[in-house]
Amino acid sequence: MAATQQRAPCLRLLLSVTQAEDEHRVVEVLQKNGIPLCFEARAKGTAPSELLDAIGLGGTTRVLTAGLLPRANVPVVFEAINKALSYHRRGAGIALTLPLTGVQNSILQLTAPEGRCKPTAEKEDHAMSEHPYALLWVSVKAGHGDEAVDAARRAGARGGTVLKGSRCSSETASSFLGVSIREEQDLVMIVLPAEAKPAVMSAVTTACGLNTPAHGVVVSMPVDEVMGLE
């Protein structure tokens, strides 16, 4: 397939959630450190009040910044982000990386030039089985995001970040799942220790799954590195 690249597993998706006032600083730091393509979205933190200063994900508007980089560059980029934005400081924000399994060739060439992205699939598969953190991505009907976060928190999660979006389903999927073809969504991101994932996923599915008014879909992804949850 010409549109994808077998070496893509060495790429990582970097996600940063920070205070709105740091929006331009995040992009500037990423671009100065080899991440030429960034995406931004506004989000709302949902952590309880006692955690707002601890992880920087609650209450006021937050900015989600995403970018692609080679796995080998993650330590250097994390160090640069932390130096500029002090993510280790209470309330500063959170950053994490997620493994990718495919990407367009043109994007790969931009983010990981030839010679900078060559780990073997075997090494990558082994590494991906040892992630201490997970990211839950929960898509629920608009207005049910807080319910998903509350259910996750009761099961041991510390909080989450809610973005606004929409779900577009085919007629087949709509009929099979019993959901609308197009529906406004709350998209909830929850970062948590891997050992807590089964209990939290079960709790969120029970409270906000497809068989509830929230019509929720819950998936999990491994997290390579995380900064800001200490």
Total domains, the chain:
2
pLDDT of 119 reads 43
CA–CA distance, 76 with 80 (Å, rounded to integer)? 6
Measured at the alpha carbon of residue 70, what is the angle toward residues 65 and 75, in degrees to the nearest 5?
75
- Residues 118, 17: one domain? yes
Among 128, 157, 177, the domain boundary falls at 128
Final residue belonging to a domain, choices 128, 159, 194:
128
- Judge whether 137 lies within some domain: yes
- DSSP per residue, 162-229: EEEEEEE--HHHHHHHT--SEEEEEEEEEEEEGGGHHHHHHHHHHHHSTTSTT--EEEEEEES-EES-
* 196 in any annotated domain: yes
Q: Are residues 19 and 113 in the same domain?
A: yes
Residue 116 confidence (pLDDT): 53
Tell which of 128, 147, 182 closes a domain. Answer: 128
- Please work out, in degrees rounded to the nearest 5, the angle formed at the alpha carbon of residue 96 by the alpha carbons of 30 and 135: 145
Domain of 66, CATH number, reads 3.30.70.120
Please tell me whether residues 20 and 119 are part of one structural domain: yes
- Residue 148: give the domain boundaries: 133-222
pLDDT < 70 regions, the chain: 1-9, 44-60, 90-91, 101, 103-104, 106, 113-129, 169, 229-230
**What is the pLDDT, as a whole number, of residue 113?**
66
pTM: 0.69
Residue 146 has a pLDDT of 92
Measured CA to CA, the distance from residue 11 to residue 74 in angstroms comes to: 10
Same domain? 96 vs 140: no
Are the CB atoms for 12 and 68 separated by under 8 Å? Answer: yes
